């Protein structure tokens, strides 16, 4: 691979990362999305269901996706299809929020089950292809470095998105539902622009092996074989499921602030900016670790920081809504670490000839991301925030202790 082609690949992925980050600020999972759903319904269980779909729906179908994609030599067209379907979901949410947000909030909630499902499943489909293409065009060290660099520029773009959010929600003449509809429309436009970067990547072809033409039933039978043979991969699946407890609780910090601290909509932008600031500054740490150590250390560090956040939230909640902003700073720190650590670590431990299967298995077996948000909302509803936060801390510590050095394949 020539330096010129490497630069082109870097620029393409960074272009996509920048506009994707700006776009995702418009529906940030931890601030904007919880506040939007809370404006439509007070039910924590409904929010938990929607958040489960947001995180878990693509994972359920990942084995189906990976089986389908494995039989194709070129996959970039599927990446673009996934991006455009996700953009369409943004547009659908914007239209329903704008026209029915005040008159029929339950109609909007009902439509969100469709739009969020489309948004999530198309994102999961695109995500497998995204990781597979990156695995094709870059070696391991370059991948980790690209994730760190891309994350830096994406964080700056996300900060710009946070400023846009803060501005929109501070406008006196733009209240609900116009403010949310505008942010979702910006998301639709930004995601469409983000897709343009991939037109500059020349995807190398891969020969389709005979085993890749297996029926889906035979393909499923191979899953236990991979897990039994590769103990490192098996442990990674367990650790990621346990680490999902941290993801489960992230959006509830915003709802916790709305419920217990009495914050208004102006804090949505403030907290988002703190979260993005944490992402930007954390990149200095993650980039250093990515340059000097393997991705496993990044994953481990990220998990242990995530275990401390629930306890920090309980302490800072006693100091008022402004002090509580530090929780979002730490959230940005671990979210950045997850992006730089988890997927590169999986690519590092995946045999190249089985990369697509590993990506699909990883997604479909990450059942924690599917069920935990519902359980989190239900648990908070019946037992309250403090007990739920403490439980998350205990599970996260256990996850960090389980992540050990890779073991040779059996």
Angle formed at CA 238 by CA 244 and CA 230, multiple of 5 degrees = 140
> Which pLDDT score is estimated for 213?
59
**Where exactly are the structural domains of the chain?**
3-201+219-402
Q: Three-state SS across 269-315?
A: HHHHHHHHHHHHHHHHHHHHHHHHCCHHHHHHHHHHHHHHHHHHHHH
Alpha carbon distances (Å) from 57 to 53, 108, 125, 227, 309: 5, 19, 10, 22, 26
> Which pLDDT score is estimated for 192?
95
Helix (H, G, I), strand (E, B) or coil at 206: coil
CB 128, CB 360: distance < 8 Å: yes
> Which pLDDT score is estimated for 214?
64
Instruction: Tell me which long-range contacts 137-144 makes (C-beta under 8 A, separation of at least 24).
Output: 137/1, 137/9, 137/201, 137/203, 137/204, 138/1, 138/6, 138/9, 140/344, 140/347, 140/348, 142/6, 143/344, 143/347, 144/290, 144/295, 144/340, 144/344
> Which pLDDT score is estimated for 409?
53
CATH architecture of 3-201+219-402: Up-down Bundle (1.20)
> Which segments in the chain show pLDDT lower than 50?
1-4, 410
Beta strand ranges found along 18-176 (DSSP E): none
Q: In whole angstroms, give the CA distance from residue 335 to residue 306.
A: 9
> Which pLDDT score is estimated for 2?
44
> Which pLDDT score is estimated for 187?
95
pLDDT digits (tens, 9 = 90+) for 282-335: 878 887 887 777 778 888 888 999 999 999 999 999 999 999 999 999 998 888
Q: In whole angstroms, give the CA distance from residue 156 to residue 150.
A: 10
């Amino acid at each position: 691979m020539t330096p010129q082609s490497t630069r082109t690949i870097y620029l393409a992925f960074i272009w996509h990362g920048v506009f994707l980050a700006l776009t995702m600020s418009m529906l940030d999972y931890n601030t904007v999305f919880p506040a939007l759903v809370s404006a439509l319904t007070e039910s924590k269980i409904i929010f938990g269901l929607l958040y489960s779909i947001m995180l878990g729906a693509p994972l359920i179908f990942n084995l189906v996706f990976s089986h389908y994609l494995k039989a194709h030599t070129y996959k970039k067209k599927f990446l673009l299809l996934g991006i455009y379907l996700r953009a369409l979901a943004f547009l659908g949410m914007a239209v329903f929020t704008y026209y029915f947000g005040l008159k029929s909030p339950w109609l909007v909630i009902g439509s969100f089950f469709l739009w969020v499902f489309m948004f999530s499943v198309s994102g999961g489909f695109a995500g497998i292809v995204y990781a597979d293409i990156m695995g094709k065009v870059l070696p391991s060290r370059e991948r980790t470095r690209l994730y760190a660099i891309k994350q830096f520029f994406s964080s700056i773009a996300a900060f710009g998105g946070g400023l846009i959010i803060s501005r929109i929600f501070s406008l006196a003449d733009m209240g609900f539902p116009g403010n949310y509809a505008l942010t979702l429309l910006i998301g639709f436009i930004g995601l469409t622009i983000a897709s343009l970067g991939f037109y500059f990547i020349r995807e190398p072809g891969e020969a389709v092996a005979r085993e890749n033409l297996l029926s889906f039933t035979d393909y499923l039978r191979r899953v236990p074989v991979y897990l039994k043979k590769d103990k490192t991969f098996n442990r990674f699946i367990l650790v990621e499921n346990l680490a999902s407890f941290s993801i489960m609780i992230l959006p509830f910090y915003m709802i916790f602030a709305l419920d217990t601290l009495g914050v208004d909509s102006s804090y949505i932008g403030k907290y988002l900016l703190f979260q993005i600031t944490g992402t930007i500054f954390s990149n200095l740490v993650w980039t250093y670790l990515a340059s000097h150590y393997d991705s496993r250390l990044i994953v481990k560090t990220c998990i242990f920081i995530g275990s401390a956040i629930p306890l920090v939230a309980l302490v800072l909640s006693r100091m008022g809504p402004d002090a509580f902003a530090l929780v979002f700073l730490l959230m940005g720190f671990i979210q950045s670490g997850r992006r730089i650590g988890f997927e590169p670590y999986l690519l590092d431990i995946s045999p190249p000839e089985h990369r697509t299967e590993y990506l699909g298995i990883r997604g479909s077996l990450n059942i924690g991301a599917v069920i935990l948000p519902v359980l989190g909302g239900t648990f908070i509803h019946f037992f309250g925030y403090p007990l739920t936060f403490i439980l998350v801390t205990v599970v996260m510590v256990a996850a960090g202790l389980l992540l050990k050095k890779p073991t040779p394949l059996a």
